Amino acid sequence: MLKYKAIILSIASLAALNNVFSQDSVHYANETHFKNVQQLTFGGDNAEAYFSYDGKYLVFQKTNPKEGFQCDQIFYGKIPTKPGEKFVPKLVSTGTGRTTCAYFTKDGKHIIYASTHEQQDSCPPVPDRKKYGNKYIWPLYPSFDIYKADVNGNIVEKLTNEPGYDAEATLSPDGKTMLFTSDRDGDLELYTMNLATKKVTRITHTLGYDGGAWFSPDGTKIIWRASRPSSPTEVAEYKQLLAEHLVAPTNMEVWVANAEGTNQRKVTSLGQANWAPVFMPDSKRILFASNHEYKRGFPFNLYTMNQDGSNLRKISRDKGFDAFPMFSLDGKKVVFCSNRSNSGTRDTNIFIADWVE
């Protein structure tokens, strides 16, 4: 949610120079938890691919200037089930503005996603990184609001209407509660919304970025990524960027809490960027992306660990970028996004695999 786009582009190029072979592998020998790996997209920047509740469809965001999409738009498609069957996604967002963070509703007939389309038809400008010492910066467009649309692309409801950034939404296993990030109260915090009553509850209250949150499959817990600036310099920099609707998410750790936000605790203390965490099907273990092994900031790979951070294991091996994992609700399949098999280009594609314990 809000992808590491600049990092993805730079690490893809560097990885191509370091090891061209790594860019042409769909499945590495040490990836023993993956079986029957299948590449679903071919070209462009495809990311944040998430299953429908029944596991039959994927919704994701894509940028591909060659196809006329200069910044992220939302697509969905049926997952192939037969040999030779292709993944044929269709546009489901408006095709205007910038979108992010799509998720299916439980009925399988609708999606939620964030979009800037009401404020501008064109893609909003990206930050000038030179102004910030070439640090990696995410824009927090105040024009992002969260919408509900049917799978034909018709917006049926606007779910947020507060000033500021509202995005990064996911839903509870019962489909009744939306979990999202907003800066409506002056910081990047997590909120829940009861979709029936539209009651919104703030559930984090600590300075720093809280985002990319998910419920556990059993609905009892939540997991997310968070930055916690502590020194006066870090706090001042964070607040200055936030005032400019920006954040520099290069130091993040994985946090968990009860579903209502109680008993919040940090799981990782690995340093660098630990993000895109999800609970595994048992609602106990965790799958997440990290670059903590590499001081240069790449590769990003997928890791598993226990809920207390123990038993850390590396499970993916691309030399560039593996991230955005999600399990199907039955736990049999996993989807993720990767720079692998892109022949040294900057493309990020979607891959699906059987999960092997």
The domains of the chain are located at 5-355
Q: What is the pLDDT of residue 19?
A: 39
Q: What is the pLDDT of residue 8?
A: 46
Residue 81 has pLDDT above 70, yes or no: yes
Q: What is the pLDDT of residue 24?
A: 61
Q: What is the pLDDT of residue 126?
A: 93
User: Mean pLDDT, to the nearest integer, of 105-133?
Assistant: 95
d(CA 160, CA 193): 10
d(CA 164, CA 46): 26
Residue reference for tokens 């930055």: 227
- Residue 136's pLDDT band, with cuts at 50, 70 and 90, is confident
Is the pTM above the cut of 0.75?
A: yes
DSSP code of residue 157: E
pLDDT > 70 in the chain, percent: 93
Residue 179 has pLDDT above 60, yes or no: yes
Residue 61 has pLDDT above 70, yes or no: yes
In DSSP notation, 269-322 reads ---SBEEEEEE-TTSSSEEEEE-TT-TTS--BEEEEE-TTS-S-EE----SSBE
CA distances from 67 to 63, 72, 91, 185, 334 (A): 9, 12, 12, 38, 27
User: Mean pLDDT, to the nearest integer, of 51-59?
Assistant: 98
Q: What's the token pair of residue 278?
A: 């999800």
- Residue 4's pLDDT band, with cuts at 50, 70 and 90, is very low
As a dihedral over the C-alpha atoms of residue 245, residue 250, residue 253, residue 258, rounded to 10 degrees, the angle is: 20
Name the residue among 227, 206, 223, 249 with its Cα closest to residue 306.
Answer: 223
Query: 222 — phi, psi (to 5°)?
Result: -130, 160
User: Mean pLDDT, to the nearest integer, of 102-121?
Assistant: 97
Q: What's the token pair of residue 17?
A: 């120079």
CA distances from 146 to 90, 149, 167, 316 (A): 20, 10, 6, 32
d(CA 99, CA 93): 8
d(CA 36, CA 255): 31
Query: 236 — phi, psi (to 5°)?
Result: -65, -45
User: Which residue type does 100 have?
Assistant: T
CA angle 117, 122, 124 (to 5 degrees): 85
Residue 194 has pLDDT above 80, yes or no: yes
- Residue 16's pLDDT band, with cuts at 50, 70 and 90, is very low
User: For residues 5 and 44, is the Cβ–Cβ distance under 8 A?
Assistant: no
For 239-293, the pLDDT digits (tens) are 999 999 999 988 999 999 999 999 999 999 999 999 999 999 999 999 999 999 9
User: For residues 166 and 182, is the Cβ–Cβ distance under 8 A?
Assistant: yes
Higher pLDDT, 133 or 218: 218
Residue 143 has pLDDT above 60, yes or no: yes
On the question of a cis peptide bond just before residue 232, with omega within 30 degrees of 0, the verdict is no
For 294-316, the pLDDT digits (tens) are 988 889 999 999 999 999 999 99
What topology does CATH give the domain 5-355? Neuraminidase (2.120.10)
pLDDT > 90 in the chain, percent: 89
Q: What is the pLDDT of residue 1?
A: 52
Q: What is the pLDDT of residue 348?
A: 97
Kindly report the number of other CB atoms within 10 A of residue 356's CB atom.
12
Share the mean pLDDT of the chain: 93
- Residue 128's pLDDT band, with cuts at 50, 70 and 90, is very high
d(CA 280, CA 288): 10
Residue 350 has pLDDT above 70, yes or no: yes
